[in-house]
Amino acid sequence: MAMDIYLIRHGETDWNKTKRLQGVTDIPLNACGIELAEKTAEGLKDVPFDRIYTSPLIRAKKTAEIIRGDRPVELVVTDGLKEISFGEYEGLCHEPEHYTIPKPGFRKFFEDPEHFETPPGGESLAHLIKRTSSFVKSVINDPENDGKTFLMASHGAAIRGIMSGLLNLPIAQFWSGTVHKNCGVTCLHVENGQVTITFENRIYY
């Protein structure tokens, strides 16, 4: 049993540009984000996707729709690909020079994930890893998916959650490997349940 899974992070948003925490806040792509998705669609135009899965958040869903183009392919919306929630901190700036988060230790999310404290009302990294990777494993383990190729449109932390779960990485290594740029694409090849990385964070623009 084998399949290929393409993971793509959504295109750029205004909150990406200003380093504001998006989480589950539904921020649309900006003009640049749409352009990045269109260029990526051109790069992926010859990939024969059998189905496209997407986070319900508009920035990922719009990216998925642009990549799909005129392919007659089903687009499935799932919370399994949704971004981590930052709870009460969403909309605040995490950039050190313009930091507006009330807790000074939030940067541990990026710099020391093992000791990151979940924001009030937010989702823990452990839960993110379980939620996202469990969804991808359900696709991998479905016998009907043998020989198929899928696109999954998601988010920066969510994709690291998927990779952490599939590769059995400890939370301390959550950010190991690469952090996807906007519209960065990673291709996973699955053979008899074993996941290998064909390429990671490939840019088409």
Quote the tokens at residue 75: 């687009």
Residue 34 and residue 110 in contact, taking contact as beta carbons nearer than 8 Å: no
Q: In this structure, what is the dihedral angle of CA atoms 11, 15, 16, 17, given to the nearest 10 degrees?
A: 110
Rounded Cα–Cα distance for residues 169 and 150 (Å): 23
Decide if 83 is catalytic: yes
Q: Is 67 helix (H, G, I), strand (E, B) or coil?
A: helix
DSSP 57: S
**Listed residue (24, 5, 15) closest to 182, CA to CA:** 15
Rounded Cα–Cα distance for residues 105 and 121 (Å): 16
Decide if 191 is catalytic: no
12, 38, 83, 200: the catalytic one is 83
What's the gap between Cα 136 and its chain centre? Answer: 12
- Report the catalytic residues: 10, 83
